[in-house]
Amino acid sequence: MRLDPSIVREIASEAGFDLVRFGPADPGEDADRFAAWLDSGRHGEMDYLARNADRIRDPARFAPGARSTIALAYDYSTPQATSVRGGGKVARYARGRDYHRFLGKATRRIRGELERAGAPVGSIKVGTDAVPILERALSLRAGIGFLAKSAGIIHPALGPYLLLSELVTPFELPWDEASPGSCGTCTRCLDACPTGAITAPFEVDARRCLSYTTIELRGSIPRELREPQGDWLFGCDVCLEVCPFTSKSTAQERPELATHPALERFPLVGILELGEEDWNEHWVGTAMRRATRSGLRRNAAVVLGNLRDERATPALCRALDDEDAIVREHAAWALGRIAPRTPELARRLGIEQEPRVVDELRASLARR
């Protein structure tokens, strides 16, 4: 069966996507680059990438008989990033509903329409950031945009704020040409990255990237990365904000990305003290759940420490007795920056059993 490209584009546009392109179902040379990236350890604790490396490199394992990719992109260049009350910035894509849900639903809707048009049921596989395929590589080969030095994708007109989704199909489709454009001599993203995570053009060490340390990392944020985190509570948009192509894009309001009620309900200190009940009641449906409650509270402690707002001292002192050692550790670090003379640090040191927390308490006391 051959799919009518014009019908596919019409269905995808009606589903809310801004770009629809067709390309091969083969990631090309990016498969080997991905393997080398894994071998270097730059994926950090994202062990699922290493476990599924062979499947990720070979789309035929994800979609047997794969021939063509329908690559989709959603422009999320909303007018501005969102900050919670009291400080703490949230990456633009996470300000509203979880895109994994609403884009996944939209992509599955396209698949359903194609099946109703005659495509065999089950022949088309859907990917929206949580499946074992090289989404960026497939999108680049389909002409969604060109490779940015930040390792993302830039569309010459829409800019770098793009969310990707794909349908991997067994059908022959007329492949689009590669997107024109390049970063040229620009190095703004490399120069602006607060942690030096963009180690060279087109190369990112996830272990240093705030989008990894504030979301994917389940343990302690390395000390040397806490101050550079600044006031980023969840994710980071710096490399996108400084990109010259951002100024060429037209910001738009997206109903799906309207500020989530939880971001308006909870101030930064409230996130530090976020309980399980509130987490499960108010934060459902937001991408910020990917950080876990522990991770988000950890991030809040770091941001409070960087903001150096003495009004946060009582909450940070209470956090020294939290049942979560990760929260205790980062609260101790924050107090070392805000109130190293508080007697609560010495009190907690006298009873603390977790070695990492003990080390942090001692380091903060040494700042007196």
Confidence at residue 10, expressed as pLDDT on a 0 to 100 scale: 93
Active-site residue, from 129, 231, 278, 321: 129
Question: Can you read off the two tokens belonging to residue 200?
Answer: 């060279």
The verdict on 230 and 304 lying in the same domain is no
Domain that holds residue 270: 260-368
**In sequence order, which residues have a C-beta less than 8 Å from that of residue 18 and are 6 or more positions away?**
73, 74, 75, 158
Say whether 287 sits in a helix, a strand or coil. Answer: helix
The verdict on 273 and 252 lying in the same domain is no
Domain count, the chain: 2
Last residue within a domain, chosen from 240, 258, 276: 258
pLDDT along the chain (368 residues), means of 10: 83 94 95 95 94 88 89 88 89 93 94 87 87 93 98 96 95 92 97 98 98 98 98 97 86 84 94 96 94 98 97 98 98 98 98 98 95
Are 121 and 115 spatial neighbours (Cβ–Cβ below 8 Å)? Answer: yes
Last residue within a domain, chosen from 223, 258, 293: 258
Confidence at residue 78, expressed as pLDDT on a 0 to 100 scale: 76
Confidence at residue 1, expressed as pLDDT on a 0 to 100 scale: 60
The verdict on 250 and 216 lying in the same domain is yes
Q: What angle do helix axes 325-338 and 355-365 make, rounded to 10 degrees?
A: 10
Q: Whole-angstrom Cα distance, residue 366 to residue 362?
A: 6
Question: Can you read off the two tokens belonging to residue 12?
Answer: 């995808």
Confidence at residue 347, expressed as pLDDT on a 0 to 100 scale: 98
Question: pTM score > 0.85 for this model?
Answer: yes
Confidence at residue 268, expressed as pLDDT on a 0 to 100 scale: 97
Q: Whole-angstrom Cα distance, residue 250 to residue 74?
A: 13
The verdict on 187 and 315 lying in the same domain is no
Confidence at residue 312, expressed as pLDDT on a 0 to 100 scale: 97
The verdict on 308 and 177 lying in the same domain is no
The verdict on 11 and 84 lying in the same domain is yes
Residue by residue, DSSP assigns 12-76 as HHHTT-SEEEEEES--TTHHHHHHHHHHTTTTTT-HHHHHTHHHHH-HHHHSTT--EEEEEEEE-
Confidence at residue 25, expressed as pLDDT on a 0 to 100 scale: 94
DSSP annotation of 107 reads H
Confidence at residue 63, expressed as pLDDT on a 0 to 100 scale: 86
237 is catalytic: no
